[in-house]
A and B are shown apart, each in its own frame.
Chain A
Amino acid sequence: MLRHSENQVLLRKVVRDFVEQEIAPMAHKIDEEDTCPVELFQKTAQLGFNGVFVPAEYGGAGLGYTEMAIVLEEIGRHSAGLAVGLVAHYMGVYAIMTWGSDEQKQKYLPLLCSGSFGGLSITEPGGGSDFAGQKTIGQPVGGEWILNGRKCFITNSHCMGVNVLTARTGEDDKGRPQISAFIIEGDTPGHKPGRKEKKAGLRGSYTGEIILDNVRLPQENLLGKPGDGAKIGLGTLGEMGRGGTAAAALGIVRGCLEESVKYAKERIIYGKPLAKLTNIQFLIAQNRTDYEAARLLTYNAAGMKDAGKPCASELSIAKYFVVETAVKAAKRTMDLMGGYGVISDYPVNRYLRDAVAAIPACGTSHIMQVIIAGGELRK
């Protein structure tokens, strides 16, 4: 039986209080205006959301990945777009926390916990899944690194405070591309946002290009060792991004369940609430069952991560299942609501757009299937 501790129950309550008062009222507006309420990030920082799993010595709340998932589910319940912005932030935080030197942790984690946006920049126009094929170059020149290139589909691109970015820095002994990871402060000369994408869903966080035009970095901005880029980039995507995206999408599934119940009770048809119709009950039962399965997968994977157990497969399973389930639940809930499901006065069509947009985040469902199958076939 998966059961949260009393502290986790209280944490969920305090996060929900904030989300219902501060985020829910603006969720429709930020979707309509396709904007990111960056000022809200300062408030979430003060409450400890931005550094939920960061040790207290670096300014975090000192909690774990289960608590991170609770924060993301609660925010995702009303604004999956905002939640995914926080997932991208967490990826930058996680990379520095896991692979950073003591000096890097001391310098950047307090910044990231106190309101500066983090992010992870891997994907390039040539593709995100072809990690080794990235063309951004990092050249060692006179004791510095000079970076040039272009990243795309980067969440938090236009509000980035601390960017963890991968670049090609040479070749290894076997002639394969050597990828390294760097920490770049958002206002470093030559580091700038490019095109801002207009997304179908997950509006509420910025996604766009990062341009690197002769960005000069000192040696101390190299994260890990030269050639650690794959370990850091793919490790962060796998261990943090996928679990985070699953939790944000879990919020969408819960939103579908709650909205379907609310509508079925309120909508009167043939003189009775819609909820009295058996076929409507089937839809609600499916939403409830989907939420339960999605919840168990998400928190099981987060719990494994907290326990320090290998969980790459479980995180991919959760991400694959929860996001695909969110798409189905949103479509099902729109079916239940008929015409009202389509109009923007009701949030469910936003849930569908958000769920669909969550599919490519941190690896598409097909990539998740490849990872899951790989895990099985290697046994």
Chain B
Amino acid sequence: MKIAVCIKPVPDPNHYNKITVNPETKLLERKGIPMVINPVDKNAIEAALQLKEQAGGKVVLVSMAPPDAREKLTEGLAMGADEAFLLSDRAFAGSDTLATARVLAAGLKKIGGFDLILAGAESADSGTSHIPSQLGELMGLPHLNHLIELNLEAASLKMKTKIEYGYAEYEGNLPMVLGVAKEINKPRYTTLMGVVAARNKPFTIWGLDELELDPASTGLAGSPTQPGELHLPRHGRKAELLEGEPGDIAGKIVAILRAAGVLV
């Protein structure tokens, strides 16, 4: 069974309080914030490794990211994946989810032969949940998102997805594109032996030319959605020191609350 797992490097959610918005460019300033594998993507890797342990085969990681994402892919290889592809080109910068899905789909098609394509249900930084469905559509494969259970029985998959009030059950035949939720499993710890082995596993970097993509279909140029202005919410606090007798102060407090619309 050949399984692809699409992963995305994201800023470490433990450092989100350090992210700022550049007032000039309106872009996120991530300087000094470590990047990690999108947390739920690790659940996708775990799901793939479990299927491989059950049915044999190969787990291939695919990521569209800048060149420094190599370390994140190596981390996935250390976890147990067999091969990694980094799709990286300046032309991909600024891609929205559709342009990203085009690049990923091109990479997946070029590698070829996948029985199953997995991804995290959503990314910790943008959280759109678009990619699994967009990939499925672009590749002409059935797709489901927010999986909380996945069982392989012969050539078919039995699945449960998270819905607003409970879960929905599905059964489907491979190949498919699936987005997994964090409830599906607990990602394994990486072994030191895995770290040692990771550097010797095949690693390929492909850019725009290798993927034979039209530059107009990727990056900012190929993105139908583009962010407008970004603002940080204000959390300022106002303090006022009231003096006088307790009764007078109580009256002043009520007046302030009424003026602020808290008391009617």
Q: Which residues of B contact A46 (CB under 8 A)?
A: 191
Partner of A10, one of B75, B189, B193: B75
Cβ contact within 8 Å between A17 and B190: yes
Q: Which residues of A contact B194 (CB under 8 A)?
A: 14
Cβ contact within 8 Å between A52 and B192: yes
Bound-state CA distance A207–B65 (Å) is 50
Cβ contact within 8 Å between A61 and B75: no
Closest B residue, CB atoms, query A56: B193
Q: Which residues of A contact B74 (CB under 8 A)?
A: 6, 10
CB distance from A99 to the nearest CB of B (A): 24
Q: Which residues of B contact A9 (CB under 8 A)?
A: 71
Dominant secondary structure at the B interface: helix
Bound-state CA distance A10–B78 (Å) is 9
Cβ contact within 8 Å between A63 and B198: no
- In the complex, the number of residue pairs spanning A and B with C-beta atoms less than 8 Å apart equals 51
Partner of B190, one of A14, A56, A62: A14
Dominant secondary structure at the A interface: helix
Cβ contact within 8 Å between A14 and B78: yes
Cβ contact within 8 Å between A67 and B75: no
Cβ contact within 8 Å between B189 and A7: no
User: Is B262 interfacial (CB-CB < 8 Å)?
Assistant: no
Bound-state CA distance A63–B194 (Å) is 12
Interface string of A17-29 (1 = CB under 8 A from B): 1100100000000
Cβ contact within 8 Å between B191 and A10: no
A-B residue pairs in contact (CB < 8 Å), sample of 9: A6-B74, A13-B75, A14-B191, A14-B192, A17-B189, A17-B190, A21-B189, A61-B191, A62-B196
With A10-B75, A52-B192 known, 12 other A-B pairs at CB within 8 A are: A6-B74, A7-B195, A14-B75, A14-B195, A21-B189, A43-B189, A46-B191, A48-B192, A56-B193, A56-B196, A61-B192, A63-B196
Enumerate chain B interface residues (CB-CB to A < 8 A).
71, 74-75, 78, 189-196, 198-199
Enumerate chain A interface residues (CB-CB to B < 8 A).
6-7, 9-11, 13-15, 17-18, 21, 43, 46-49, 52, 56, 61-63, 67, 71
